Amino acid sequence: MFSNTSEIIEILGTIAFAISGTFSAMQRKLDVFGVLIIAFVTSVGGGTIRDMLIGDTPVAWMRDVQVCLVILVTSVAAIIFKTYIRKLKVTLFLFDSLGLGLFTVVGLQKGINVGLNPGICIALGTITGCFGGIIRDILLNTIPLIFRREIYATVCIFGGAVYLLLLRFQVNTDISKFMVIAIIVATRIIVVQKQLSFPRMRY
Amino acid sequence: MFSNTSEIIEILGTIAFAISGTFSAMQRKLDVFGVLIIAFVTSVGGGTIRDMLIGDTPVAWMRDVQVCLVILVTSVAAIIFKTYIRKLKVTLFLFDSLGLGLFTVVGLQKGINVGLNPGICIALGTITGCFGGIIRDILLNTIPLIFRREIYATVCIFGGAVYLLLLRFQVNTDISKFMVIAIIVATRIIVVQKQLSFPRMRY
Amino acid sequence: MFSNTSEIIEILGTIAFAISGTFSAMQRKLDVFGVLIIAFVTSVGGGTIRDMLIGDTPVAWMRDVQVCLVILVTSVAAIIFKTYIRKLKVTLFLFDSLGLGLFTVVGLQKGINVGLNPGICIALGTITGCFGGIIRDILLNTIPLIFRREIYATVCIFGGAVYLLLLRFQVNTDISKFMVIAIIVATRIIVVQKQLSFPRMRY
């Protein structure tokens, strides 16, 4: 039915982050338009930074209006169905983690396609996964989630390393992608449920 | 007398935003040098992001020292004539809105030249118009103007849509530019005078 | 022994800024992983912005894993030997200033190689030297050092002007680099020791 797994992963990640951006902005009481901008930035931020770093310009969303429409529709839907979705707070968290997993894999694969060093591919995946949220938090003037106590970016790095290992052992690309997304989402859930964090060091 | 309308629009926008940056920085009591940096960033910020997004590098101001000189002279003049200009607070607001209108048109036209989709052109115009101010506010550690209650970016999007419509109906490019700049400036004035904002929603 | 002065300068600057980033992040009580990210961003931030502005992509650190390893090792070493290094607070400040001088020269030379206008080369040097620290401060949510009262970016601009003058008078490139680094470091020391700042103006 679908011609391209990567495309599906990208659209799903876009939807997941558009929802997370919409809700963050609503919590800060922005007007409707501010909410839409934050949803957009959260969704395309990681991929934009990724494309500017590797010089793949115009950046992805500029070549694909579809992405912009998906974000618009998702964000408006999230605003409308807010009461319903809010009750499903767990669902929202799952979407956010899913976005992180999906975009990390997109970034990883793009790094591999460009022929970057494995370590750099992991960095590119992590940047693609995390930077939308970082920009969102900077714009909303809060300390980025990534720098609070909770384990966040490390999950992407771990997932990236697993992905490269799977490919090295000749596992099918689509299966590897699916496994890594599952690992990232599962790890995030465990981290948040058990409130895991790196040991506070006495610097 | 002038060979190129686009060039004039760009220089006028540069001057307008250099003045707005200078005054914002003086309000935060930065030293002279900090004021010059903020004036520079406010002036070239939008165009720099625009050029990095579409991959037109080195970015505009790096290929044109004239722009840097214009900012320097404008900012120093604004510092010197501050008492005089401050009394003309309305004039300053007009310059700021004029900058927004001018740069939005520059960004729109650049998007069209590169052959981007109409919706993306509007986004590029909005980014060119608004991002200098966003970066200025982030550096001065205040919540960006764009996310406060006042209608701001929406004005650029509205102006951008009008511009594309005018071109579609074969209106002369220079006349279209002039009309859109006038529309953006006028809308901003009305918005601020009547303290219009999007209805606060109960999220 | 060394084939390339530029390379040595770049590695030394990387080390210097990795140490400064590590210590800033430890002061804000980030966990180990947050500390590593801040060290990385502080170290590569200036060069990344520089490369994106001139369109030399993929940006430098993506083409050179060595840089990432140097940052990792330096940051871990700084965390381990923190007690020892902290006593040598003066040494740390020297490293920070050394980083500023080293990276300014790297940026200047890159601008010259690309054939940019002299004034723009000075701007590029200043951006390369200062932006790692600016991004670090934005992420840690403090007002960037560059905008506090202390003279900072001006030192880079001054050093850049001297560098171009030396080259104009046909002084050997390596000697010029060494002199400019020495000038920037020395000026920073004098500025901080004598608590020099631009006169506070009554705006």
Chain segment B133-180, per-residue pLDDT in tens: 888 877 777 666 666 656 778 899 999 999 999 999 998 999 999 999
Contact state of A53 with C55 under an 8 Å Cβ cutoff: no
By three-state DSSP, how is residue C203 classified? coil
Instruction: Decide if A37 touches C, using CB distance below 8 A.
Output: no
Could you tell me if A167 and A146 are in contact, meaning their C-beta atoms sit under 8 angstroms apart? no
Name the residue among B31, B57, B62 with its Cβ closest to that of C197. Answer: B31
The mean per-residue pLDDT over the stretch C5-33 comes to 86
Q: Who wins on pLDDT, C11 or A202?
A: C11
In a domain, C202, yes or no: no
Distance from CA of A190 to the nearest CA of C (A): 18
In a domain, B63, yes or no: yes
In a domain, A201, yes or no: no
Residues of A in contact with B146 (CB under 8 A): 34, 37
Name the residue among A52, A61, A139 with its Cβ closest to that of B147. Answer: A139
Instruction: Decide if A120 touches C, using CB distance below 8 A.
Output: yes
Residues of A in contact with B138 (CB under 8 A): 138-139
In a domain, C98, yes or no: yes
Mean pLDDT is lowest, of A58-62, B9-13, B25-29, C34-38, for: B25-29
| pLDDT confidence band for C1 (50 / 70 / 90) | very low
Q: Residue written as tokens 């902005």?
A: A25
In a domain, C200, yes or no: no
For residue A38, give its domain range: 5-193
Q: Is the pLDDT of residue A46 over 50?
A: yes
State residue C29 phi and psi, 5-degree precision.
60, 30
Residues constituting chain B: 203
Instruction: Decide if A81 touches C, using CB distance below 8 A.
Output: no
Number of domains in chain C: 1
Distance from CA of C31 to the nearest CA of B (A): 24
Contact state of B53 with A48 under an 8 Å Cβ cutoff: yes
Residue C20 in tokens: 């400064």
In a domain, C22, yes or no: yes
| pLDDT confidence band for C198 (50 / 70 / 90) | low
In a domain, B146, yes or no: yes
Distance from CA of C16 to the nearest CA of A (A): 19
pLDDT in tens, B62-109: 988 889 999 999 999 998 887 776 655 666 677 788 899 999 999 999
By CA distance, what is B126's nearest residue in A?
Answer: A37
In a domain, C125, yes or no: yes
CA C57, C60, C61, C63 torsion-angle sign? positive
Q: Is the pLDDT of residue B1 over 60?
A: no
- ipTM over 0.90 threshold: no
Cα–Cα distances (Å) from A26 to A19, A44, A131, B197, in that order, read 11, 19, 20, 16
Instruction: Decide if B53 touches C, using CB distance below 8 A.
Output: no
In the predicted model, what is the mean pLDDT of chain A? 85
Contact state of A62 with B143 under an 8 Å Cβ cutoff: no
The mean per-residue pLDDT over the stretch A48-57 comes to 93
